Amino acid sequence: MQKKKFLITAALPYANGPIHFGHMAGAYLASDVYNRHRKLQGHKTLFISGSDEHGVAIMLNAKKVGEDYQEYVNKWHKEHGELFKDFGVDFDFFGQTSAEYHKEEVIKWFKNLHEKGYIEPKDSQQLYCNDCNNHLPDRFVEGTCYKCGYENARGDECPNCGEFIDPVKLTKTVCKICSSNNISEVTVTQYYICLSKYHTEYRKWLETKSESWRKTVYPYVDSLTKESLHDRAITRDIDWGIDVPLPNTEGKKLYVWFDAPIGYVSNTKKFLEDSGSKEDYLKDWWNNDEVELTHFIGKDNIIFHTVIFPTMSLASGICHAADQVPANQFLNLEGKQFSKSTGHYVDAAKAVAKFGQNALRYYLISILPEQTDSSFSWEQLQAKVNNELANNIGNFLNRCLKFTQKNWEEGMPANYYQGFTGSEAANKLSADIKELNELVDGYSVKKGIEKVMFIGQSANNFFSDNAPWAQIKVDKDLAGQTLAYSSIYALCLGVIMKPFLPELSASILSHYKNVVSYEQQMSIYSGDLSVIDEIFKNGHHLTEEVVALVPKIEKELIEEELAELEAKK
């Protein structure tokens, strides 16, 4: 396989509240699996994300809790970073859009697009609160949606129908700062990014994605942009954000729609600088024909990553636009949308501390909403972990390794391992692993973990069908070969689990650390099992104590979670 470079981004989490399972399933677990997968294939990758730290919602909530804006976003940045580590999401760099290095990069983009005529001032109508004397852009105002009639539509988007809101069209408007209804329209000058000027070039680029992008992404973007692109205001009269770098613009800040996606680029630059790399963030990564760029996002971010940021990138000439945008659909909780305001949510940090990384990663990856919305269920979590991960994988590993350690205390001889690579079982295993690679190459992470579990079931069947506990009573060498072949299956499972369940993979591979190198693991992951003979040329001695790797989830823990969810209503 020819080695490539992969630039992988995961949606910048908004530094305005906790990350829940919906976010994990929307962007972060799939992107982490894909990054680990490409690394294990031997490719060079950069995995970039960071906190999105500007915008009106942050300002409002910081004021509510009486915290300085920077103090507020720093708190959430730290909490999000810790949660990602708990879930095993391993970014190369997780930065902040409030940082000075990000401001420098954003100003560079603004000046480039402004000089080329893609940013212009325009007069527009904006709501103004006559009681607290504040402009009311975006989430500073709420009202009744003019499309669906939802009474709590925000000034930027209706959470009920998804309409991008023109706030001056809302009815029954309420100021979110002081709760006043004494609101009027005023004329203000803001700077707009003129997406409409780049429509022809944008469409030429988009149409190259018609066959490669998901059917849940391309048709939607195609229909949205076929006739035209709409110019969008990228400045606001607010006191938190990056100053507009033009004369006579005091009090105006660049808004989050413009500055946030540039965070992927600024964070890449900062990572390379901090790591002492000699690579250039543009020439070697963001503006390099040999790099494949993938944005992992949830469906609520499709427009930003398939229309606005690609147009900014192409029109500026600073970066290439995305090669892939595998947007996931929504994950619900027990059949209903996650909602912190109504109490219908789960504290992800408490959950991972209670159930562990392996259980939650396995279940969430197995229900990833890749093509349609899906739902998290506590009882289904218990069933899948206990019946599949524990009974299938955990039980096989425990029986295989313990039986070997008990009966071959001095280690298994090399001759027991011979013959596997030429067997029908090895040919089937190799084909299954190659199919696994193809699935994840194509962003089918959910089907990928299903293939891992299929391979685990094959290993379990091989062990049970040959019944080494019966064989050893009549032919110890035959039992030894069964266990040796089962041990090879266990090693391969440890390798192919690396992208999906890194913690469980590490536990399995700890029993092989003295016989298998990383390069040999890469060969196994590619489906090349010829390295097996070299790995076990001196046999294998299990020196570490074999312990149960996948504990079952007790019913009482699930009942606690269901009761807590009910109590929040």
Expressed as residue numbers, the domain containing 408 is 377-535
Please give the average per-residue pLDDT across 79-88, as a whole number: 97
Structural domain contains residue 132: no
The answer to the question of residue 423 being in a domain is yes
Q: Which of 514, 522, 512 is nearest to 489 (CA)?
A: 512
Supply the angle between the helices 445-466 and 357-366 in degrees, to the nearest 10: 110
Question: Which band of pLDDT confidence, cut at 50, 70 and 90, is reported for residue 112?
Answer: very high
DSSP state of 39: H
For residue 335, pLDDT beyond 80: yes
* pLDDT (mean) for 140-163: 88
- Is there a single domain that holds both residue 307 and residue 384? no
Is 466 a domain residue? yes
Domain check: are 384 and 488 in the same one? Answer: yes
**304 with 385, same domain?**
no
Alpha helices in 41-158 (DSSP H): 56-65, 69-86, 100-115
**What is the structure's pLDDT at 266?**
98
Q: How far apart are CA 113 and CA 153, in angstroms?
A: 32
Q: Which residues pair with 190 in a beta bridge?
A: 122
How would residue 276 be classed by pLDDT, with cut points 50, 70 and 90?
very high
386 in the same domain as 314: no
Question: Do residues 269 and 386 both lie within one domain?
Answer: no
Same domain, 317 and 403: no
pLDDT at 157 (0 to 100): 81
Q: Residue 162 pLDDT > 90, yes or no?
A: no
Distance between CA atoms of residues 502 and 506, nearest Å: 6
537-546, pLDDT tens digit by residue? 999 999 888 8
Question: Within this chain, do residues 282 and 397 fall inside the same structural domain, yes or no?
Answer: no
Tens of pLDDT along 128-143? 999 988 888 777 899 9
> Torsions phi, psi of 236, nearest 5?
-145, 155
Identify the pLDDT of residue 206: 98
Tokens of 505: 């993979």
Do 315 and 385 fall into the same domain?
A: no
The predicted structure's pLDDT at residue 121: 96
Looking at the structure of the chain, the number of domains it has is 2
* Assigned token pair, 554: 């007790």
Beta bridge partners of 143: 153
Q: How do residues 342-368 score in pLDDT, each as one tens digit?
A: 778 888 999 999 999 999 999 999 999
What is the pLDDT of the chain when averaged over all its residues?
Answer: 94
CA atoms within 13 Å, Cβ hemisphere of 304: 21
Quick one: pLDDT at residue 294?
A: 98
In this structure, are 250 and 381 located in the same domain? Answer: no
- Per-residue confidence (pLDDT) for residue 425, from 0 to 100: 94
Confidence at residue 191, expressed as pLDDT on a 0 to 100 scale: 96
Q: Verify that 383 and 323 share a domain, yes or no.
A: no
Residue 63 lies in a domain: yes
Is 411 a member of any domain? yes
Starting at the edge strand found earlier in the chain, the sheet holding 153-154 runs 153-154, 141-144, 171-175
The verdict on pTM exceeding 0.75 is yes
CATH number at residue 474: 1.10.730.10
Q: How confident is the model at residue 173 (pLDDT cuts 50, 70, 90)?
A: very high
pLDDT at 1 over 70: no
78 and 205 co-located in one domain: yes
Question: How confident is the model over 306-331, as pLDDT tens digits?
Answer: 999 999 999 999 999 999 999 999 99
269: in domain: yes
User: Where in 104-237 does DSSP place strands (E)?
Assistant: 119-129, 134-135, 141-144, 153-154, 171-175, 183-193, 232-233, 235-237
Strand, helix or coil for residue 143 = strand
**Dist CA 40 CA 210 (whole Å):** 29
**Which residues, 6 or more positions from 133, have their beta carbon under 8 angstroms from its beta carbon?**
none
At 562, the pLDDT band (50, 70, 90 cuts) reads very high
Specify the CATH number for the domain of residue 71: 3.40.50.620
User: Is 348 inside any structural domain?
Assistant: no
Please indicate, yes or no, if residue 561 is contained in any of the structural domains. Answer: no
Q: Are residues 281 and 404 in the same domain?
A: no
Q: How confident is the model at residue 20 (pLDDT cuts 50, 70, 90)?
A: confident
